[in-house]
Structure 1
Amino acid sequence: MDFDNSTPIYLQIITLLKKDIATGKLSPGEKLPSTRELAIEYGINPNTSGRIYKEMERDEITFTKRGLGTFVTESQTKIDHIRDDMAKDLINNFINGMIELGYTKDMLIAIIKKESEAK
């Protein structure tokens, strides 16, 4: 996996896992790979895998059953919140990028309408 040097690897993997949860690729209550398996899958240190799961559990995205492993949250409300937050981040990045290019609010709306009608 190619990582972006401007963001810590563990945050990039958390984002990937959150996206998999938000899109349904990972189902509510689904068991996640062990920290060792996650480390192998992404080519990272097992300590980094542990940090990933620790951060996700702190944010209530996952939960751990002692002796069984780490699982995706079963809360659909939490999953919807993750999805909404990711959507807001995408929109804000788009808007900020377009403003940097000199587009106004009206120009943005016109472009969005035009592109969405083409789909």
Structure 2
Amino acid sequence: MLTYRDLGVLVAPLLLCGFSLSSASEVGLSGKSLIFPYETDYSYVRLTPQKPLELSAFTLCMRLATELQDDRQIILFAYRTGDFDELNVWREKDGRISFYLSGDGINFNLPPLTTFKTRP
């Protein structure tokens, strides 16, 4: 799999709802926004937990909007452990959404991402 630098992609402006963790508290990312005001080939956000995660379940909710053109790949979400990408969600060049779970991906055809919020 290509790295972020290899692709020169921009993580799209996105709204993260948060994670469901077995030991999660009431404090989280719910209702928070991550907005990149201008396009670069190095913009991304890294969230690092204060203590090791012992996941028994994982839920990812995203509300997305982008002004980026359709003819490029965008990494919408990546969960990495050590030296391996465990979970990746991408928008492919052709507009399909790809879901990679520890290896090969599966593709979905969804309505195109726009500057307007998507519906869950």
Q: What interval of TM-score do these two structures reach, taking the shorter chain for normalisation?
A: under 0.3
Higher strand share: 2
TM-score, normalized by length of structure 1?
0.26
Instruction: State which structure, 1 or 2, has the greater radius of gyration over its C-alpha atoms.
Output: 1
Higher helix share: 1
